[in-house]
């Protein structure tokens, strides 16, 4: 099929199915997680971050199949291949630099470089030791920035150390007008805050920013003493920044001095704010003062810390909040022995409240073990949990529709123990009955009603749509942090190598992704999606987050990465909450609350577990006016047949 390049590009982008990767908004604690089953038969929770990483790798797999089909598709597909660059290890940046330099060497303009198409760069968290020096990493990133003038999203999951300054300068010099989202980790040294301030000052169009002030190891990050008071700001002290486009800000680690400086900035567009102070107990940042200056425009606020804060002052400073998350382990005073005083006057805008902590509430996991050694502390915290949950009522929050327990640790402990134990059973019953009578939905971190656990069939197999899989045939997805999983995928620079073992490596990738299936499965799925898209023409949820101009809203609600992951992988071992209405609270508004999942204390093995559902995700292209759907469908089927026959000449569609 001889199609114009413009049509091929549109079809390739649909096949890659990577629109979700380009949303400007960063993940929050309200993004739902998904159950999945390991090869050993254990249920684990896949975080939104892990699901997104898998989506990126899966998209690379599809794009490699496209560019390996023929010479014409190789040239046209390069644009789609370089739309985002995802690296499981920084050493692969060096190979990318060689590719960019070789391609641009024969070019007369920067637009001819492959980096011209790049909109997202994601450097995943890995151990750098022994394979690349920090100096090499710095030089590689600076070179990549030079070739990516249209970069919109820059994410680095590990600290850049002393290289952060030069990399930030390169971002400001080459991508200041295009960059919308940054995700940084910086070492908590004396100069870290000053570097961040100058970096933000040079990037005026940033819409979403996550800044993690960290140490070299996670243990040091939680337990080490703070350098607060020894920070060197220099000329960055009391600098007034005007971040007119910033709508989402997420801070983690020891951000006391940064927050102190940010109090005087202009953040008139700020809508989403997240604070994660970890397990630190001292030198709490002045969060309340910051909110009193910038809380009026907030719609989403998430505070995760152990030291207690005055929730009533926080909510007074944020009258327009729709979603609020806090730690119910806080002993909030005053109280009448039944309910805490969370508000001075009713808050009329909050519709969803998230709860961190709760490790002692249900008598399972590490919280139960620790309670045996410190029973008084555990009892005080449990009493605080009860009083804080009792305050989540329609009197204090007239529009409250959902209370979500955000901790994945709590849910995994409940799954491992098949439900709460001891006093936790009565506490679960009390919370459920109190909230359900008020028309409030009680959820876990997957978005399902609390008490719903993943389901196992009696014969050890899983079944969907009349199909059965045995344990040996089950599709397995290793954890995103495992080396085996990363070895199964190819980075952008490896795609353009001409090694003799390309076919062998591709076969290994294919077998590991989906054992016993060939490329035809992927193509059949794409064709089916095109047909359904033509029939339904459903809009993509939260499509405003996918492609936004400066100043557009980045926080429009939760993103169900569990559903997205399930549909992209086609895995029968992933259990999600995608059977809910598209509006997560529409059931509450209509009065159709879910029935209570009942834990059975007499038989710990008979726990109500989540039924499996098959829900198809329909992804609409961004620009509907670029190419009509009927044109895509008219050319799409013969094109897919051609792909299949080229890759698998003996197969028939």
DSSP-derived secondary structure for 293-333: HH-TT-SEEEEE-SS---HHHHHHH-TT-SEEEE-TTS--S
Contact 303, 275 (CB under 8 A): yes
641 found inside a domain: yes
Domain of residue 581, residue span: 5-42+456-647
Considering the entire predicted model, what is its pTM?
A: 0.74
Report the pLDDT averaged over residues 539-546: 40
pLDDT at 585 exceeding the cut of 90: no
In a domain, 52, yes or no: no
In a domain, 601, yes or no: yes
What is the tally of structural domains in the chain?
1
- Nearest one of 85, 73, 155, 165 to 489, comparing CA atoms: 85
List C-alpha distances in Å: 3 to 6, 13, 15, 71, 142: 8, 15, 16, 14, 37
Q: What is the pLDDT of residue 104?
A: 56
- Please choose, from the candidates 9, 158, 23, 11, the residue with its C-alpha nearest in 3D space to the C-alpha of residue 82: 9
% of residues, the chain, pLDDT over 90: 30
Check whether 603 has a pLDDT greater than 90.
no
Q: Pick the closest to residue 156 from 85, 205, 207, 97 (CA basis).
A: 85
Give the integer Cα–Cα distance in Å for 139 and 612: 49
What is the C-alpha to C-alpha distance for residues 188 and 251, in angstroms, rounded to an integer? Answer: 13
- Tokens representing 413 are 């402990």
Report the pLDDT averaged over residues 291-311: 94
Query: Among 17-21, 158-162, 222-226, 444-448, whose mean pLDDT is lowest?
Result: 222-226
Does any domain span residue 222?
A: no
Provide the pLDDT for residue 116. Answer: 87
Taking each continuous run of H as one helix and of E as one strand, the counts in the chain are 22, 19
Residue at 37 is within a domain: yes
Let me know if residue 228 belongs to a domain.
Answer: no
How does pLDDT run across 145-185, given as a tens digit for each residue? 988 999 999 999 888 888 888 999 999 999 999 999 999 98
3-state secondary structure of 133: coil
**Cα 49 from chain centroid?**
4
Does residue 599 lie within any of the structural domains? Answer: yes
Q: With cut-offs at 50, 70 and 90, classify the pLDDT of residue 72.
A: confident
Over residues 26-48, the pLDDT tens digits come to 989 999 898 988 888 888 898 88
Residue 513 lies in a domain: yes
533, 616 contact by CB (below 8 A): no
């Amino acid at each position: 099929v001889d199609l114009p390049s413009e049509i091929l590009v549109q079809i390739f982008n649909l096949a890659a199915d990577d629109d979700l990767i380009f949303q400007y908004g960063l993940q929050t604690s309200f993004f739902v997680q998904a159950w999945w089953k390991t090869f050993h038969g254990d249920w684990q929770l896949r975080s939104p971050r892990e699901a997104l990483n898998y989506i990126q790798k899966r998209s690379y797999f599809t794009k490699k199949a496209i560019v390996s089909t023929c010479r014409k598709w190789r040239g046209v597909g390069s644009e789609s291949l370089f739309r985002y660059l995802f690296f499981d290890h920084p050493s692969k940046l060096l190979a990318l630099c060689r590719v960019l330099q070789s391609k641009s060497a024969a070019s007369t303009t920067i637009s001819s470089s492959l980096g011209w198409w790049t909109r997202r760069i994601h450097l995943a968290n890995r151990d750098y030791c022994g394979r690349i020096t920090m100096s090499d990493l710095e030089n590689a990133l600076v070179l990549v920035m030079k070739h990516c003038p249209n970069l919109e999203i820059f994410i680095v999951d590990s600290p850049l150390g002393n290289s952060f300054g030069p990399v930030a300068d390169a971002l400001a010099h080459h991508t200041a007008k295009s960059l919308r989202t940054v995700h940084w980790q910086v070492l908590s040294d004396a100069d870290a805050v000053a570097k961040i301030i100058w970096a933000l000052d040079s990037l005026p169009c940033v819409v979403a920013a996550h800044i993690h002030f960290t140490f070299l190891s996670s243990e040091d990050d939680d337990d080490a003493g703070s350098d607060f008071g020894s920070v060197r700001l220099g000329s960055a002290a009391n600098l007034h920044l005007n971040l007119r486009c910033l709508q989402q800000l997420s801070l983690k680690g020891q951000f006391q001095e940064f927050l102190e400086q940010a109090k005087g900035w202009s953040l008139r567009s700020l809508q989403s704010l997240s604070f994660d102070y970890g397990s630190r107990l001292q030198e709490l940042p002045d969060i309340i003062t910051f909110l009193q200056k910038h809380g009026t425009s907030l719609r989403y606020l998430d505070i995760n810390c152990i030291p207690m804060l005055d929730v009533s002052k926080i909510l007074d400073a944020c009258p327009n909040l729709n979603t609020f998350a806090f730690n119910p382990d806080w002993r909030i005073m005053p109280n009448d022995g039944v309910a805490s005083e969370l508000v001075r006057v009713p808050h009329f805008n909050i519709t969803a409240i998230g709860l961190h902590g709760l490790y002692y509430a249900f008598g399972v996991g590490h919280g139960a073990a620790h309670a045996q050694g410190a029973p008084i502390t555990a009892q005080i915290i449990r009493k605080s949990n009860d009083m804080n949950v009792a305050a989540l009522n329609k009197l204090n929050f007239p529009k409250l529709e959902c209370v979500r327990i955000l901790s994945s640790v709590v849910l995994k402990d409940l799954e491992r123990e098949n439900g709460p134990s001891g006093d936790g059973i009565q506490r679960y019953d009390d919370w459920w009955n109190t909230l359900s009578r008020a028309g409030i939905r009680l959820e876990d971190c997957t978005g399902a009603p609390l008490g719903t656990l993943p389901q196992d069939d009696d014969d050890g197999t899983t079944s969907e749509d009349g199909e059965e899989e045995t344990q040996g045939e089950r599709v397995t997805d290793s954890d995103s942090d495992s080396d085996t999983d990363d070895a199964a995928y190819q980075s952008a620079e490896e795609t353009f190598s001409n090694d003799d073992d390309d076919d062998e490596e591709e076969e290994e990738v294919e077998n590991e992704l989906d054992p016993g299936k060939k490329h035809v499965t992927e193509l059949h799925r794409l064709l089916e999606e095109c047909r359904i898209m033509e029939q339904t023409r459903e809009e993509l949820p939260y499509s405003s987050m996918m492609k936004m101009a400066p100043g557009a809203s980045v926080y429009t609600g939760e993103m169900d990465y569990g559903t997205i992951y399930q549909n992209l992988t086609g895995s029968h071992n992933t259990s999600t909450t995608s059977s809910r209405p598209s509006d997560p609270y529409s059931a509450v508004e209509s009065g159709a609350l879910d029935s209570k999942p009942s834990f059975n204390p007499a038989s710990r093995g008979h726990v109500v577990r989540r039924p499996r559902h098959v829900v198809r995700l329909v992804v609409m292209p961004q620009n509907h006016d670029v190419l009509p759907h009927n044109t895509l469908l008219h050319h799409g089927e013969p094109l897919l047949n051609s792909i299949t026959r080229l890759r698998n000449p003996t197969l028939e569609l």
